[in-house]
Amino acid sequence: MDTSQNQRLEQICQDAMCSACGLCESLFGPARVQMAITPEGDLRPVIKPGVALGAEEMDRLERLCPGQRLEALPAAFASPDGQDDLIWGHYEAMQMGWASDPQVRHRGATGGVLTALALYLLESGEVDFILHAKASSQQPSFGERQVSRNSEQVIEGAGSRYAPTAILVDVLELLDLDRPFAVVGKPCDLSAINNLAREDPRVDRLIRARLAPVCGGYMPPEGQARFIQQDLGLDPARITAMRYRGYGCPGPTRIELDDGQVVEASYSDFWGQDESQWVLPFRCKVCADGIGEAGDIAAADTWPGGSPDPNDTSYDPGTNALIIRSQRGRALVQRASAAGYLSLGETLGPRDLDGFQPHQRNKKLAVGSRYAGLAAEGKRHPATQDLRLDALTEAMGPAEAQRQTEGTRQRVGVGKASEPLPRAVAWFKRP
């Protein structure tokens, strides 16, 4: 049996480019490739024993995988009235917003905007179901894909999941249903959807909305272990449920144990006081689209400086910054607002987003130089389309570009851009 093509999938993981979206499981089928928990505690695609992947199907995977290709939402979705910004890309409008229902706003990670839009789409009958994430029943700190056909299921998934979450494990099967639906996923998940749309016309016909949070990344296993075991002194095996955000903005990180005990910590306890303390996967540090350019609408936090004030204990009901990127995104916001699902506030501009999301601005400027460092060390990185990396590198200036490139080369040299061959400790079963 010729298994030489298997190395092409494995190398995406070994070069630390896998974002655990799950698309490869849908492409190959779980009998051949399945998402699995690895010995390192992450979620990765693992090829089943005795399986030999073919050259043509690996060619297709490499065209579709967001670890191999990232692109903005196609220009056909934009209107001539839209605007373009070097950092934030194309947008039709930027505006403050929040869920009109106080309970939805309270449950959401920030202002509940994505939950409110999903509820509107479902309850209005515009879609039959929502594909999104919820807390995993198999691994409480992880997320898992949820197909919601009623409001209770949508609300069950409200709030952020700062952990591996493979929402695309059966996306081809969902397309086979030939029914309209919406996707709420990480920007890299939506890049995979856009990649698939170039080859499968059902995507644009059936997926009526592509919605994303502005995403800084998730907490990798070593960060989770530090927080749960070292900081809180808890045994991960005893955790039965874990909530990262929600019930206020940002709300407490809440852990439930098998004896009924509940432990809560603050957002700052979990992530640290500011960006310098964040622990992220390497793939997230070199992401060319954390700001949701692949979606119709992206929803961002609105803390000045990028993080909540850890000394401010007052209740914050939460307000999102909406980055509306397409004509249909603008129309969706208008319909959801008119129907009473969404409340809208002041109009924003790109420099307001810079103030709310300085880490996204800085990473956007640096990604092209970081890719140059990876390439210089023989490491792969995603090809990009309409994400302006050359212009961003030029805007950053040659001295900082060189510093970013050399810093990335040093990280490659000490192994931070590498992962072990993915192996399964436990297969991650579909819900």
pLDDT digits 0-9 by tens, 116-159: 999 999 999 999 999 999 999 999 999 999 999 999 999 999 99
Dmax (CA) for the chain in angstroms is: 63
Is it the case that residue 276 has pLDDT exceeding 80? no
What pLDDT digit, counting tens, does each position of 241-262 carry? Answer: 999 999 999 999 999 999 999 9
Can you tell me the mean pLDDT for 35-53? 97
Q: What is the mean pLDDT of the chain?
A: 95
> What is the per-residue pLDDT across 208-233, written as a single tens digit (0 to 9) for each?
999 999 999 999 989 999 999 999 99
User: Helix, strand, coil: what percent of the chain each, to 5?
Assistant: 40, 20, 40
pLDDT band of 313, cuts 50, 70, 90: low
pLDDT of residue 2: 80
Cα gap 113→217, rounded to integer Å: 19
Q: Is the pTM above the cut of 0.85? A: yes
Assign 45 to helix, strand or coil: strand
pLDDT digits (tens, 9 = 90+) for 73-120: 998 998 888 999 999 999 999 999 999 999 999 999 899 999 999 999
pLDDT at 407 over 80: yes
Report the alpha-carbon distance of residue 220 to residue 381 in Å, rounded. 19
